[in-house]
Chain A
Amino acid sequence: MRLGLVIDLDVCVGCHACAVACKQWNSSGTTGPLTDYDPYGADPSGVWFNRIRSFEVGEYPQSKTVNFPMSCMHCETAECVTVCPTGASYKRPEDGIVLVDQDKCMGCNYCAWACPYGARELDQASGTMKKCTLCVDRIYDEVLPEAERQPACVLTCPTRARYFGDLDDPDSAVSTVVRERGGFQSMPELGYNPTNHYLPPRVQPPAQQAENPLVSLQDKLKEWMAKAIAK
């Protein structure tokens, strides 16, 4: 299996539901707690696995605003694994999820340097690197109803812009939607072969317009006076 996420940029409105759901789930999740520094102070920040980058393309008034959620891409060629000196960083052979063993990690940050997607963060309080676990603590939990064995971000997304599944299975929802919508990887030229894909905004053909010709008001009102519609 090659589990991952597909994110639909056609409908992502940048609401941050996925980011906060992830933060919430993982606070009490397998690598929790996710530390918050100066939470009520002058410089609040903290450990998040999912961050939304919003940017604009083009110039006013034709500009487009794009909301781009980014979290670990669970790459096929995960260099964050290659560089890890302790073996804490690894990619599971059974499902391709890239994880950090919190007992082995020494927080050297080398993996964060290797990742071009900004997926890894140092939790200063625990001294370890943390990142998206693809909710490994949800997706196999048989106590949860099957429909809920999905990452928190996917379940919560209000515009249903997030999909989860096996990209090795050509009939899965994720594979199907990538095929049908022309899903793409972020920065494929870097060679990490990310598993997560993004769906581009849909391009609409121009809408049709009603075709009655303009007529003179005088003529029209005369005609309209005589028209009889029953109540």
Chain B
Amino acid sequence: MTALPQFEDHSKQEKKYTTCYMCACRCGIEVTVENNQVRFIRGNRAHPVNQGVLCAKGNAGIMKQISPAKLRNPMRRKPGTERGAGVFEEISWDEALDELTARLRNIRETDPKRLAFFTGRDQMQALTGLWAQQFGTINWAAHGGFCSVNMAAAGLYMMGHAFWEFGDPDWDRTKYFMLWGVAEDHASNPIKLGIEKLKRRGGKFVSINPVRTGYQAVADEWVPIKPGTDGALALSMVHVLLSREQFDWDFLVRYTNAPFLVVQTPGERGDGMILRDADGQPLAWDNVNGGFVNGMEPDITPALFGEYVAPDGRPVKPVMQLIAEKYLDSQYAPEHAAKVCGVPAEQIERLALEMAHVAFKETIEIECEWTDWAGRKHDKFVGRPVSMHAMRGISAHSNGFQTCRALHLLQILLGTVDVPGGHRAKAPFPRHVPPPIKPAKHTAPSTPLSSPPLGFPTMPEDLVIDDQGRPLRIDKAYSWEAPIANHGLMHMVITNAVNGDPYPIDTLIFFMANMAWNSTMNTGDIQDMLRAKNDDGGYKIPFLVVVDSFHSETVNFADLVLPDTTYLERFDAISMLDRPISDPDSPCDSIRYPVIEPDRNVRPWQEVLVDLAGRLGFPAFTDDQGQPKYAGYTDFISRWEKAPGIGFLAGWRGEQGEKSMRGEPNPDQWERYRENQCFFQHHLPENQRFYRFANRDYLNWAKEVGFNATAEPILMELYSETLQRFRLAGQGLYDGPMPTDAQDKQRLVDYFDPLPIWYLSLEEAAVSEQEYPFHAVNQRPMHMYHSWDSQNAWLRQITAQNYLYMNRGRAQRMGIADESWVWVESHNGRIRVQVKLMEGCQEDTVWTWNAIGKQSGAWGLSADAPESRRGFLMNHLISELLPPGSGDRRITNSDPVTGQAAWYDLKVKITPATDGAECSWPEFDTIKPLPGQSESPDELRYQTHKAVNLRRSLKDILTRS
């Protein structure tokens, strides 16, 4: 063997651990650092999320770290220049924070809700939400209303956890996996690892998606569905299961409200509510003993079907009877659903029966003693190994909430929730249904909110409205327009603020939210709105603060820019109080620890938030003398307690770091995390890993560690009284707040069905099918994540331009050629884009990658970069408001229940472009470079040490050539 040279000097390198932040997956990474440069990033083998693997984005971290688009210094818009003109001057941190503090103090002391603070794809909502609560403004939310609130809310109001961050398929045991509306992401690496395990075991993977790329490419069966019709497909499968008697009786009786009796008195107050006894307990009819029983008691034998008469004479029916009557109706039969969703009737029926077979004939059992909520012992966990996952393809529609509930109904009928092989909750879930927190309503000068700004309404009394029923929040969340808006409506903030509807604001802070570009609908108009002025010449949004790490399109509009670090340069806490990285068997949390020293005048936003909190005198951040309590972010994270012993990080608590999950603050906590590769994992004992909604030991433990307020069992609500209360309010039959506007009333009646329904999406119903025959949707590619990553020097060599993808046959019938240019038009606007034809695309659908298109000059890219010349945003076609309808008021283009932005409802028409132009339209002005910004290099030769060549010996050449 030829002797190999020493290729690199490992003694000059250091391996450090931290958490990736190229997307929201938060994989553990091992970073090899050399001379304060990154030599190599790989997945951490020991980490629970990714177990050593790492995706393309994670592997491209180096190019994010050295991006020429990094912000270098705080800046203010140069006085005398226009907002959006991009003329800035650099200022010091002191100047920036003094100015901001003074302005915020004034707002806080007069009318706190004139501060609107919205965050984008950050993972710091526990901190930013707390900060907003302490400031006293209700005008805070993150990006969930734009992204996936439908999916989160559907799960939390029905089964106690949800898809994505609150639950996972049981990858090690599932035998049948159905993926609905998932782009190539969410979650990134865990799904990839899981799909391989499933396929290796011989399990079946079915993918419901209009496009066959990414995960869909390796599906055993690809079901090309029309966007926005997944609810019809799911409910038709419910029909099939019911009509073949393929549902889990035991599961329904024991763990759901299927047996509870529902009052049937249409037109009267109390109609559709659950019949209760004098103590408020839900009633069921006991089949064996005859008579009404408390439905929460163990060892009853409640009827699932039948019609009964309550003691007070009112007719009642069990929830399950209503379910059977509703979904056995022929409108849900596969023949009808096929016409709606484009999936053949025989396929609908077959998929339902395949799942039923796996659920009931391929049941798995795990031998393990466990105790249920009533104290009864069981000797095994029974698993029905069918699992599902869904994300934005379900969520980003105006019918997404009910659609996602339909999926959960399917799962519950098959008995696959939190069981072996099914879909399992991730700590801190499961939680009680519905969750107990209510959103804050009342603001007062210099006063923190009495509850968090976001919460979970269960009745009209919980709405954040005034006595006249008008919205109190700037985004109108928790108003009659969006009653269960659990994640806010980020996409309405600018429009409402500029229209002064419900009121004008003073300061708008955006953190990591590219609201002037791809994280908004109707981009051109939004940019105009940011520039809009009053008659007196002042901006309608008087002060705009943008916090970001990079030169985004939104930074260009700022009045004040606060530059953040990259993820390799800072501390961070990925907390269970926030969005967890747990897996079903173990609660987990993690940190980031700086591995690179920043080379510019930037500060982590978390540090700045803690600093501002101290300056502004927030009670939770200051002592009795009004002095800042915390030395900085890390001190705050390790010492702040939500409740005694409960803090941001669950690991190494207690004075000696000897306690897990709950314990006194440990001043060395960050170091203990660092010693443990920056993550903490608590392994649940085996008897606490399944049926947790009914598992006594788990429920007791979940209460002890602060996940849940009580150890009561978690009942799944197939039938939602929350929705019924709002529906009654819409019908004028509610003893409490009711809407006065006719449109509001009708929306409650139409959409707040206490059982899942499908309806045509609002935009689709409002525009002509003949004129706009195509559905238009976005996906995120696996190698990019929103606008953050598409500027990456390596990743943009994979994709620097997005196309409009069309079904080849359909395009050819329309005379549209591959790579030709077309006009795509919606009711809101039009764009000119380049087309690519493909087979794997549903015929009535067109799609593109999101966030590839950029505004010229942003992100350190040249003015003629393909991202701006030929790339495009579909967002220009989407309005944040529905087309003008019968009422005077333009209603938000969102799900009527949750306010989720309905951007996948878009309908378009496509015509060949004949002007010969070979660039996309609209074009935007080129953004100016920032002060201090160096020119982006035109060649990169990145290495952290000189390469050591492996020489071929002369002998080898002479003897073997």
CA distance A159 to B304 in the complex (A): 43
The interface residues of chain A lying within 8 Å CB-to-CB of B304 are 224, 227, 229
The interface residues of chain B lying within 8 Å CB-to-CB of A227 are 249, 287, 304-305
Scoring B288, B808, B952 by chain A CB atoms within 10 A of each residue's CB, the highest score goes to: B952
Q: Would B939 and A39 count as touching, CB distance under 8 A?
A: yes
Binary contact readout A128-149 vs B (1 if CB under 8 angstroms, 0 otherwise): 0000010011001101000100
Binary contact readout B346-383 vs A (1 if CB under 8 angstroms, 0 otherwise): 00001001101110110000000000000000000000
18 contacts between A and B (CB under 8 A): A16-B783, A20-B794, A23-B794, A24-B40, A24-B60, A31-B947, A42-B869, A58-B839, A65-B216, A104-B952, A136-B4, A137-B8, A143-B10, A147-B45, A160-B196, A207-B357, A221-B324, A229-B254
Q: B614 to nearest A CB, angstroms?
A: 39
Instruction: Identify which of B259, B306, B354, B949 contacts A101 (C-beta below 8 A).
Output: B949
Q: A38 to nearest B CB, angstroms?
A: 6
The interface residues of chain B lying within 8 Å CB-to-CB of A17 are 53-56, 58-59
Scoring A11, A28, A29, A42 by chain B CB atoms within 10 A of each residue's CB, the highest score goes to: A28
Which of chain A's residues 161-212 have a Cβ closer than 8 Å to chain B? 161, 201-202, 204, 207-212
Q: A106 to nearest B CB, angstroms?
A: 14
Binary contact readout A45-62 vs B (1 if CB under 8 angstroms, 0 otherwise): 110100000101011110
Known: A30-B949, A103-B949, A158-B193. A217 touches B328 (CB 8 A): yes
CA distance A215 to B192 in the complex (A): 41
Scoring B56, B215, B361, B957 by chain A CB atoms within 10 A of each residue's CB, the highest score goes to: B56
CA distance A230 to B287 in the complex (A): 10
CA distance A71 to B431 in the complex (A): 48
Binary contact readout B435-450 vs A (1 if CB under 8 angstroms, 0 otherwise): 0000000000000000
Binary contact readout B197-218 vs A (1 if CB under 8 angstroms, 0 otherwise): 0010010100000001111111
Which of chain B's residues 1-56 have a Cβ closer than 8 Å to chain A? 1-2, 4, 7-8, 10, 34, 39-43, 45, 50, 52-56
The interface residues of chain A lying within 8 Å CB-to-CB of B939 are 35-39, 125
Q: Would A212 and B244 count as touching, CB distance under 8 A?
A: yes
Q: A46 to nearest B CB, angstroms?
A: 6
Does A114 sit at the interface, judged by CB under 8 A? no
CA distance A214 to B356 in the complex (A): 14
Q: Would B53 and A156 count as touching, CB distance under 8 A?
A: yes
Name the residue of chain B whose CB is nearest to the CB of A143: B10
Q: Would A44 and B40 count as touching, CB distance under 8 A?
A: no
The interface residues of chain A lying within 8 Å CB-to-CB of B838 are 56
Q: Would B4 and A42 count as touching, CB distance under 8 A?
A: no
Known: A16-B798, A143-B10, A217-B328. A41 touches B193 (CB 8 A): no
Known: A90-B956, A212-B245. A30 touches B40 (CB 8 A): no
Q: B387 to nearest A CB, angstroms?
A: 15
Known: A14-B213, A160-B193. A39 touches B793 (CB 8 A): yes
CA distance A141 to B216 in the complex (A): 38
The interface residues of chain A lying within 8 Å CB-to-CB of B782 are 13-16
CA distance A8 to B238 in the complex (A): 36
Known: A30-B949, A90-B956. A21 touches B42 (CB 8 A): yes
Does B948 sit at the interface, judged by CB under 8 A? yes
Does A80 sit at the interface, judged by CB under 8 A? no
Binary contact readout B83-111 vs A (1 if CB under 8 angstroms, 0 otherwise): 00000000000000000000000000000
Q: Would A65 and B840 count as touching, CB distance under 8 A?
A: yes
Does A3 sit at the interface, judged by CB under 8 A? no
Name the residue of chain A whose CB is nearest to the CB of B67: A40
Q: Would A20 and B357 count as touching, CB distance under 8 A?
A: no
CA distance A160 to B794 in the complex (A): 23
- Identify the stretch in B455-463, B860-868, B885-893 within 8 Å (CB) of chain A at 4 or more residues: B860-868
Known: A44-B793, A212-B244. A156 touches B196 (CB 8 A): no
The interface residues of chain B lying within 8 Å CB-to-CB of A56 are 212, 838-840
Does A152 sit at the interface, judged by CB under 8 A? yes
CA distance A102 to B866 in the complex (A): 33
Q: Would A63 and B199 count as touching, CB distance under 8 A?
A: no
Q: A223 to nearest B CB, angstroms?
A: 9
The interface residues of chain B lying within 8 Å CB-to-CB of A43 are 866
Q: A84 to nearest B CB, angstroms?
A: 8
Does A115 sit at the interface, judged by CB under 8 A? no
Name the residue of chain A whose CB is nearest to the CB of B190: A158
The interface residues of chain A lying within 8 Å CB-to-CB of B808 are 60
The interface residues of chain B lying within 8 Å CB-to-CB of A140 are 4
Binary contact readout B321-334 vs A (1 if CB under 8 angstroms, 0 otherwise): 10010001000000
CA distance A35 to B943 in the complex (A): 10
Does B796 sit at the interface, judged by CB under 8 A? yes
Does B642 sit at the interface, judged by CB under 8 A? no
The interface residues of chain A lying within 8 Å CB-to-CB of B793 are 36, 39-40, 44
Q: A19 to nearest B CB, angstroms?
A: 7
The interface residues of chain A lying within 8 Å CB-to-CB of B353 are 209-211
Instruction: Identify which of B214, B246, B350 contacts A212 (C-beta below 8 A).
Output: B246
Name the residue of chain B whose CB is nearest to the CB of A220: B245
Q: A227 to nearest B CB, angstroms?
A: 7
Instruction: Identify which of B250, B253, B947 contacts A32 (C-beta below 8 A).
Output: B947
Q: Would B794 and A36 count as touching, CB distance under 8 A?
A: yes
CA distance A181 to B841 in the complex (A): 30
Q: Would B218 and A12 count as touching, CB distance under 8 A?
A: yes
Does A109 sit at the interface, judged by CB under 8 A? no
Q: Would B305 and A221 count as touching, CB distance under 8 A?
A: yes
Known: A33-B941, A226-B287, A230-B253. A204 touches B220 (CB 8 A): yes
Does A155 sit at the interface, judged by CB under 8 A? yes
Name the residue of chain B whose CB is nearest to the CB of A141: B7
Name the residue of chain B whose CB is nearest to the CB of A222: B305
The interface residues of chain A lying within 8 Å CB-to-CB of B1 are 94
Query: Can you name 13 extra interface pairs (CB under 8 A) apart from A227-B305, A229-B301?
Result: A14-B213, A15-B192, A16-B782, A28-B942, A30-B947, A35-B939, A36-B940, A39-B939, A158-B189, A158-B192, A158-B193, A217-B324, A225-B303
Which of chain B's residues 515-572 have a Cβ closer than 8 Å to chain A? none
The interface residues of chain A lying within 8 Å CB-to-CB of B938 are 37-41
Scoring A161, A202, A210 by chain B CB atoms within 10 A of each residue's CB, the highest score goes to: A210
Which of chain B's residues 494-514 have a Cβ closer than 8 Å to chain A? none
Scoring A14, A58, A215 by chain B CB atoms within 10 A of each residue's CB, the highest score goes to: A14
Q: A130 to nearest B CB, angstroms?
A: 11
Q: Would A28 and B941 count as touching, CB distance under 8 A?
A: no
Scoring A14, A21, A40, A88 by chain B CB atoms within 10 A of each residue's CB, the highest score goes to: A40
The interface residues of chain B lying within 8 Å CB-to-CB of A224 are 304-305, 324
CA distance A45 to B53 in the complex (A): 26
The interface residues of chain A lying within 8 Å CB-to-CB of B215 are 13
Instruction: Identify which of B220, B224, B299, B800 contacts A44 (C-beta below 8 A).
Output: B800
Name the residue of chain A whose CB is nearest to the CB of B306: A225
Does B746 sit at the interface, judged by CB under 8 A? no
Q: Would B862 and A207 count as touching, CB distance under 8 A?
A: no
Q: Would A67 and B217 count as touching, CB distance under 8 A?
A: yes
Instruction: Identify which of B8, B192, B193, B303 contacts A28 (C-beta below 8 A).
Output: B8
Binary contact readout B804-846 vs A (1 if CB under 8 angstroms, 0 otherwise): 0001110000000000000000000000000000111111000
Does B468 sit at the interface, judged by CB under 8 A? no
Q: B330 to nearest A CB, angstroms?
A: 10
Known: A59-B839, A101-B951. A210 touches B246 (CB 8 A): yes
Binary contact readout B845-875 vs A (1 if CB under 8 angstroms, 0 otherwise): 0000000000000001110111001000000
The interface residues of chain A lying within 8 Å CB-to-CB of B841 are 60
